[in-house]
A and B are shown apart, each in its own frame.
Chain A
Amino acid sequence: MNVLAYLIPVSLLLGGLGLAAFVFTLKSRQYDDPEGDSRRILNDVWDTRPRPDDVRTDRPSDN
C-alpha cells in the first residue's frame, strides 16, 4: 500500500499539468477559430517564416 504514497501525488501532478496546459492554450487564444485552424492545414500558402524562397536567397549570402 506504500505505493499509494507515490502514485496519488503523481496522478494529481499529472492532472494538474494537463489543466495547466489547457489553461495555457485557452489564454493564448487557441480556441478562437477552431474551424479556420482546422482548415488552414490544407492551405498551400506559407504563413510562417521562413518562406522557401527566403531560404534560397539566404543561402548564397553564407558563402
Chain B
Amino acid sequence: MTLAEQSSAMGCPGCVAAPAPSQDTRLCDATLALSLPTIHCQACIATVEQALEKYPGVLHARVNLTRKQAMIDAAGDVTAAELAAVVRAAGFDAWELDPDALQETRTGNLGRDLLMRMAVAGFAAMNVMLLSVAVWSGATDATRGLFHWISAAITLPALAFSAQPFFRNAWSALRARRLNMDVPISLAIALAVATSLWETSLSGKHAYFDAALTLTFFLLAGRWLEARARSAARSAAEELTALEVPRAWKVIADEPTEVPVSELRAGDAVLVRPGSRAPVDGVVIRGTSEVDRSALTGETLPEMRRTGDAVSAGEVNLTGPLVLKATAVGTDTSLHRLAALVAVAESGRSRYTSLADKAATLYAPGVHILAALSFFGWLLWAGDMRVAANIAAAVLIITCPCALGLAVPAVTTAASGRLFGRGLLIKNATALERLAQVDTVVFDKTGTLTEGNPQLTNWHDLTADQQAMAAMLAQGSAHPLSQAVASAAREAGLEVPLADVREVPGYGTELVQGGEVMRLGRPDWLGADARGDQLAAAFQAGSQKPVVLTFSDSLRPGAEALVQQLVTMGKEVILLSGDRAAAVRSIAGRLGISRWEAAVLPDQKADFVQKLQEDGRNVLMVGDGLNDTAALASAHVSISPAQALDAARAASDIVLLGRDLTPVGEALATAMCATKRIRENFRIATVYNIVAVPLAVAGLATPLIAALAMSLSSLTVSANALRISGKSR
C-alpha cells in the first residue's frame, strides 16, 4: 500500500461525512456577528478565532480588531448565542449582534466615500503642486501659462468630485437661510478656482489651483477622521440596539406561534417563557411564576405573579411559563409610557452648542465680512476688479478653516480612539466636551454599581450535607437566587451530581431523595422567617427546620475605585435607586457614598437630575434601567453599560462595553484633556490667522505663502491633537 492510497483511505471517512454538512450549510448559510469589547491584541484574535472555528458548524470566523467584532460564517442551525458562550468560555466578553444590522452600516459607507474623495483630492493636489513648484521656482511666459492650464485641467474635475460634500452642505445651509462652516469653505474653493481661471486666461502670475486642492484635501481629512471615529462607535451602538429582536409567542389554539411583537393585539394570549421579557402589558391567565422588575424599578427582589395578577411589559419572567392576556400593546404599554417620558426630558434638555459650532458662529460671518471689505477696499483703492478679486480669493483661502476644520476632529478622534480601546463607545459628537464640564455624578444602583445578580452571603451556615443538597436543588432552576446558590457551590469546589429536580413555578425547586422531600425556595413557602426585606431563600431537608439563605448584590468590578477617584477629583457622588432603603444603604456604605436616596420612582429620578441641572450643576448620570432613561436623557451627559436595555442605551451619550467601571473615571480625565487640546488648537489657528490675514489683505500673499501657511497650521494642529494618545502609552 502506498502512502497516497493510505492517505486517500484515511481521507475517506472524512469525505463521506463531509458532503452532507457542507450541502446543508450551502442551503442555509448564516452570517453571525459578535461584539467583543475586551479584545485588544493578536493573541486575543487568535484565541477567539480558534475557539470559534473549533465549534461544530462554524465554517469560518474572522475577528475585526478595529471594530471589536467577529464575523462568523456558520451552518444554519448555529446561533449567535451559542457562539457568544463559546467565546466567553475562552475568556472574553461577547455579545451577540443582529447580523441584519451588520450588513454594511451606513456610517461605514460614509467613511469609505470620504476616503475616496480625499484620495482624489490628494493625488490631484500632488500633481498640481508639482507644476506649481515649477512656477514658483521661476517658470515664466508660455511655460507658466501651459502649467496653469494643465493645473486647471486636473483641478476642475478633481474638485467637482471631491468637494461635493462641502458644496452640498453649504447649499442646504443657505437654502435654510443659515451659515455654517461649509459656506465659507465652498466660497473659498469656488472663488479661488474662478479667479485662478481668470488669471490663467489672461496669462497672469498667480493661480491658486494647488491651494484649492490642498484645502479640500485637508478639510476632507478632518471630515474623514470625524466619520471614522464615530463609525466604529455608532455601528456598534446601532447593532446593540438592533439586538433585541422584537418577537413574541402568541398562543393560537393552544399552540404557541412566533410572531413579531407589532402583530400582537389587545386580547391576544401571549406565552412568556422563563427567562424572557414580557412584550405586552397583560393579566396572567395561566401559570404561576416570579418576575424580575429590576429593569422597570431597580428593585432586586423578584415578585410573585399568579393567575389574575397584572404583568407590565419589560418585566422578566423567571421560573415558570406564564400565559398573559394582553391588555395593552405597542405604544400603550407601560414600557412605552416610560419612553415617552424620555422624549419629554430630551426636548427639555438644553441644547448644547459644541466648541466647534461656537467658533463657527463667530468665524463664518467674520470671514465673509473680511473678504468683502478687502474686495471693495481694493476696488476703490486700485480701481481694478481683477486685483480686488485676486485679493479677496487670497483672503478666503488664508482664513479658510483648515486648522479649524481639523482642530476638533483631530482631538476627538484621538480621544475617542483611546477610550474605545478601554471599552467606551462615544455615541455623541459633543459628549466629550460635555463630560469635561461634569461636577456631579449620579449613579443608579442595580445593574450599574452592582452586577444585578445576587450572591449568597451565608453559605457556611449550612452543614456539608445541606450544602450538597442545596446545590443539587439549585441546579434545577434559572431563578437568580438558585443560580447564586449553584455558583457558590461551584466556588466551594463541590461536585454536584445531576438529580431529578422538579421546579414548582413561583415557589422553588423540590427533590425526593431517600423518601424525604428536599426543598429550596421562597421562605414563606417553607414556613421560614425571612428577616426583614432582605433578599432571601430557604432550604429544608425533610422535616428538619428550614434554613434561611441570605443574598446580597455584588459590586461591579472597579466600582469602589471609581467612586474613590471621583471623590478625589472633587466631584459630588450621589446614589439614586428605586430599590429598598436597606439595600441602598448597604451599597452606599460599602462604596463610601454619603448622599443617597432609595425607592425613587422613574419620574422622580428625572426631576432630581433636572433640579440639579437647574441649580447650575453639570450632571453625569450613569444608569442602565428603564427607570433611569428619563434621568439619563435629562442629565448633561450620560453613560450606560452595554448590558442596559436599548432604551437606556439610546438615551445615553456613552456606552460602557466591559463589566469594569474604571474606564468611566478615565473617560472624565481624557475628556478634560481633550477639551484643553481643542482650546489650544483654536488658539493656534487664531494666532496663525492674526499673522497671515494682514498679509493677505495687504495683497502680499502669494500662492506659495498661502500653501505654506495652510500646511503648517494644519500640521501643528494635528500634532497637538496626537499628544492625547501619546500620553496614554
Q: Which A positions have Cβ atoms within 8 angstroms of B?
A: 1, 4, 8, 11-12, 15-16, 18-19, 22-23, 26, 31-36, 39-45, 47, 57, 60-61, 63
Q: Which of B4, B65, B143 contacts A1 (CB 8 A)?
A: B143
Are the CB atoms of B130 and A33 closer together than 8 Å?
no
What string of 1s and 0s marks CB contacts (under 8 Å) between B3-29 and chain A? 110010000000000000000000000
Contact A26 B64 (CB under 8 A): no
Choose from A11, A22, A40 the contact partner of B127 (Cβ within 8 Å).
A11
Contact A26 B116 (CB under 8 A): yes
The 7 closest A-B pairs by CB, nearest first: A36-B65, A60-B3, A39-B42, A61-B4, A19-B123, A35-B66, A33-B64
CB distance from A62 to the nearest CB of B (A): 9
Q: Are A61 and B116 in contact, with the CB atoms below 8 A?
A: no
Q: Name 20 extra pairs, CB < 8 A, besides A15-B123, A41-B42, A43-B45.
A: A1-B143, A11-B127, A15-B126, A18-B123, A19-B119, A19-B120, A19-B123, A22-B123, A23-B116, A31-B115, A32-B108, A36-B45, A36-B63, A40-B42, A42-B42, A44-B46, A57-B7, A60-B7, A61-B4, A61-B7
Residue ID in chain A nearest B112 by CB atoms? A26
Residues of A within 8 A of B65 (CB): 33, 35-36, 39
In the complex where A23-B116, A36-B45 touch, is A12 in contact with B127 (Cβ < 8 A)? yes
Interface residue? B2 (CB, 8 A): yes
Q: How far apart are B375's CB and chain A's nearest CB, in angstroms?
A: 35
Contacts of B49 in A (CB 8 A): 45, 47
> Which of A19, A41, A57, A63 neighbours the largest number of chain B CB atoms within 10 Å of its CB?
A19
Known: A19-B120, A42-B42. A32 touches B66 (CB 8 A): yes
B47 nearest in chain A by CB position: A45
Contacts of A22 in B (CB 8 A): 119, 123
Report the minimum CB–CB distance from B548 to chain A (whole Å): 52
Which chain A residues border B112 with CB–CB below 8 Å?
26, 31
Among residues 38 to 94 in chain B, which have CB atoms less than 8 Å away from a CB atom of chain A? Answer: 41-42, 45-46, 49-50, 63-67
Contact B45 A23 (CB under 8 A): no
Cα distance, A44 to B67, chains bound together (Å) = 22
Docked pose: A10 CA to B243 CA in angstroms: 53
Task: Report B's interface with A, CB cutoff 8 A.
Answer: 2-4, 7, 41-42, 45-46, 49-50, 63-67, 108, 112, 115-116, 119-120, 123-124, 126-127, 130-131, 143, 146, 150, 154
**Do residues A26 and B119 form an inter-chain contact, with CB atoms below 8 A?**
yes
Chief secondary structure at chain B's binding surface? helix
Which residues of B sit under 8 angstroms from A35, Cβ to Cβ? 65-66
The answer for the CA separation of A61 and B7 in the assembled complex, in Å, is: 8
State in angstroms the CA–CA spacing of A47 and B48 once bound together.
13
Cβ–Cβ < 8 Å partners of A19 in chain B: 119-120, 123
**Which of A11, A26, A47, A57 touches B130 (beta carbons < 8 Å)?**
A11
Residue contact A40 to B116, C-beta cutoff 8 Å: no
A38 to B716, CA, bound (A): 27
Question: Which residues on the B side are within 8 Å of A31 (C-beta)?
Answer: 112, 115
Of the A-B pairs whose beta carbons lie under 8 Å apart in the complex, a sample of 25, sorted by A's number, is A15-B123, A15-B127, A19-B119, A19-B120, A19-B123, A22-B119, A22-B123, A23-B119, A31-B112, A32-B64, A33-B64, A33-B66, A33-B67, A35-B65, A35-B66, A36-B45, A36-B64, A39-B41, A39-B45, A42-B42, A43-B46, A45-B49, A47-B49, A63-B2, A63-B4
Main secondary structure of the interface of A (DSSP, over half): helix
Residues of chain B within 8 A (CB-CB) of A57 are 7
Residues of A within 8 A of B124 (CB): 15
Closest B residue by C-beta to A42 = B42
B229 CB to nearest chain A CB (Å): 13
Instruction: Point out the residues of chain A lying under 8 angstroms from B42, CB to CB.
Output: 39-43
The complex places the Cα of A1 from the Cα of B41 at a distance, in Å, of 56
Cα A18 to Cα B122 in complex, Å, equals 11
- Residue of A with least CB distance to B131: A8
Shortest CB-to-CB span from B142 to chain A, Å, is 9
Q: How far is the CB of B713 from chain A (nearest CB, A)?
A: 26
Q: Which of B7, B115, B120, B127 has the most CB of A within 10 A?
A: B127
Complex CA gap A44/B127 in Å reads 42
Complex: how many Å from CA A39 to CA B146?
A: 48
CA distance A2 to B151 in the complex (A): 19
Contact status A61-B3, CB under 8 Å: yes
Chain B: CB-nearest residue to A1:
B143
Decide: A34 near B66, CB < 8 A? Known: A60-B7, A63-B2: yes
Residue pair B4, A60 in contact (C-beta under 8 Å): yes
Determine the chain B residues whose CB is within 8 A of the CB of A16 once the complex forms. Answer: 123
Q: Which residues of B contact A45 (CB under 8 A)?
A: 46, 49-50
Find chain B residues with CB under 8 A from A42 CB. 42
Measured CA separation A19–B161 after assembly (Å):
14
Docked Cα-Cα span, A16 to B157, in Å, equals 13
Chain A residues whose CB sits within 8 angstroms of the CB of B115 once the complex forms? 26, 31
Closest Cβ of chain A to B107, distance in Å, is 13
Task: Give CA–CA (A32, B41) in the complex, Å.
Answer: 17
Tell me whether A63 and B119 are in contact (CB under 8 A). Answer: no
In the complex, what residue of chain A is closest to B115 when comparing beta carbons? Answer: A26
Chain A hits for B123, CB < 8 A: 15-16, 18-19, 22
Q: Would you call B45 and A8 a contact (CB within 8 A)?
A: no
Query: Chain A residues near B131 (CB, 8 Å)?
Result: 8
Of A16, A22, A35, A60, most buried by chain B (CB within 10 Å of CB) is A35
CA distance A18 to B127 in the complex (A): 11
| Distance A19 CA – B126 CA, assembled complex (angstroms) | 11
Residues of B close to A11: CB separation below 8 A: 127, 130
The complex places the Cα of A8 from the Cα of B115 at a distance, in Å, of 26
User: What's the Cα separation between A35 and B41 when bound, in Å?
Assistant: 9
Residue of A nearest to B39 (CB): A36
Most buried by B among A15, A26, A41, A44: A15
Tell me whether B3 and A63 are in contact (CB under 8 A): yes
